[in-house]
Amino acid sequence: MERLVIISNRVAEIGEKTQIGGLAVGIADALRRGEGLWVGWNGCVSSDDEYPAARRRDHKTVTTLTFSLTQEEHENYYLGFSNRVLWPSFHYRLDLIEFNEDFAQAYASVNRRFARIAFPELKKDDLIWVHDYHLIGVARELRKLGSNHKIGFFLHIPFPSAEIFSAVPRHEWLRNCLLEFDLIGFQTSRDLENFRFYLVENSDVEFISDDLIRASGRTIRIGAFPIGIDVAQFAEMAEKVDDAVELERMRRDVLGRIQMISADRLDYSKGLPDRTRAFLEFLNTYPEYRGCAEYLQIASPSREDVPAYTEIKAELEQLAGAVNGKYAEFNWSPVQYINRSIPRDKLACLFRASRIGLITPLRDGMNLVAKEYVAAQHPGDPGVLVLSKFAGAAEQLREALIVNPYDAGEIAAAMKRAATMPLQERRERHQRLLERIRRTDARWWQTTFLEALRKAPCGFSETIRD
């Protein structure tokens, strides 16, 4: 019988009451629908350099196999190659790459460790699904151990243009690693095109059809599989009245105030300072909104051990302070800034209570918050989504107000348009957006990917290329 094996950098807690976001929701749902095994890091760093044994936990239909990283692995594989090389470069920030040979070595060896932990657990008919940029080398390592399973890979972040990718340290090795998978999935058709174009320029891969390529005797399927959310579940959370949020919404209504909202990890790819500057531009340009427009910025702490993240936090706090310093009155603050993660049900209610959703990353694989904002709206009186053209979600969410996230004036104009959009237009746009996120929800994403993986040609590899 087929079993699904997920290999991802982190394994989320699986429990009835656990509220988990994005990726974890999609994966947990896929696993719950049949027998499944989920392998990955438990989030802990061991205090010595020993490799701690992996720990097995059996849940209803899912078994998790998790392990700690050593300090050196955490430093060089996770904070190093994953988050100071691959993350910035795939988000077009070549200026932030740190070239360090130890990072690349550790990345390869931790990918090997993941494969060695998973391999003894594998059964003949297992379908293997590897997630994201931390684990590009896993199929290659599994093949070396003798695996001829079907192995799929899904990249949650953008695949950059060929010029950018060819500037990534070890890009040829990364390409060869990718070509050991049987299915390589991307978020958008733009990512897929970027990958295809890189291969044309930097390899002797043969293109058989739109979704099949041939490299070193193996046929590999490629495709775009935009990730979705559990729309019904998010809408249900938004509908449950949170007394504090509701009271605040009524107070704003009475005072004739408009709330704008954003929620992101505090990451330089999310465009937080640019968005705050755009809000300042909005108040500068449209004085009628002084004293009545409020921007609630929820930015959860992220990767605080990486210097670029502490810098962006300082910049954001300085900017929020500057906007408030310029325009706040004794009974009104234009920017409310929360630097915490908040429960998902609260987030859903806040989205519903906000007239404008501001999702303006400088680059984003997809951006699930954009879809969550749409799902949370009241269909009879929905808010307006202002969305960056560089979020993967923009390829699907065309009825949002699409903006250039670098252009403060353009975002400010979109804020104004959103604030004054007639009810009928808001409803029509929202209706179309909702239809689309329902059609391509979390379940659609995982079933479409797994169907494509089942159809992919066999996984055997005769030669492993360095």
User: Could you give the residue numbers annotated as active site?
Assistant: 156, 364
**Contact window for ligand ADQ (CB under 6 A) among 40-48, 58-66, 196-204, 366-374:** 366-374
Q: What's the token pair of residue 229?
A: 């959310």
CB of 179 to ligand ADQ, least distance (A): 22
Q: Which is nearer to ligand ADQ, 121 or 317 (CB)?
A: 317
Report DSSP letters for 25-83, one per residue: HHHHHHHHTS-EEEEEEEEEE-SSSS-PPPEEEE-SSEEEEEEEEPHHHIIIIIIIIII
- Strand segments, DSSP code E, in 142-289 are 150-154, 183-186, 206-209, 212-215, 218-224, 258-265
CB of 166 to ligand ADQ, least distance (A): 22
Q: Which of 8, 9, 70, 367 binds ligand ADQ (CB under 6 A)?
A: 367
Report DSSP letters for 224-266, one per residue: E------HHHHHHHHHS--HHHHHHHHHHHHHT-EEEEEEEES
**Contact window for ligand ADQ (CB under 6 A) among 30-38, 168-176, 237-245, 360-368:** 360-368
Residue 308 interacting with ligand ADQ (CB under 6 A) = no
Q: What is the CA radius of gyration of the chain?
A: 23
Question: Within 195-254, which residues bind ligand ADQ (CB under 6 A)?
Answer: 227
Q: Which of 5, 151, 283, 298 binds ligand ADQ (CB under 6 A)?
A: 298
Please say whether the beta carbons of 139 and 177 come within 8 A. Answer: yes
**Contact window for ligand ADQ (CB under 6 A) among 73-81, 96-104, 257-265, 382-390:** 257-265
* Paired strand residues for 294: 259
Listed in sequence order, the residues at least 6 apart from 160 whose beta carbon sits closer than 8 Å to its beta carbon are 89, 90, 91, 92, 194
Q: Which is nearer to ligand ADQ, 258 or 376 (CB)?
A: 376
Phi-psi region of 43 (alpha: psi -120 to 50; beta: other; left: phi over 0): left
Question: Within 258-297, which residues bind ligand ADQ (CB under 6 A)?
Answer: 263-265
Q: Which of 347, 353, 415, 418 binds ligand ADQ (CB under 6 A)?
A: 347
Residues 396, 385: Cα–Cα separation, whole Å: 13
Amino acid, single-letter form, for residue 227: I
Question: Within 312-341, which residues bind ligand ADQ (CB under 6 A)?
Answer: 341
Q: Which of 10, 13, 22, 212 binds ligand ADQ (CB under 6 A)?
A: 22
By CB under 6 A, how many residues form the interface with ligand ADQ?
Answer: 21
Binding site for ligand ADQ (CB under 6 A): 21-23, 156-157, 227, 263-265, 298, 300, 341-342, 347, 364-369, 372
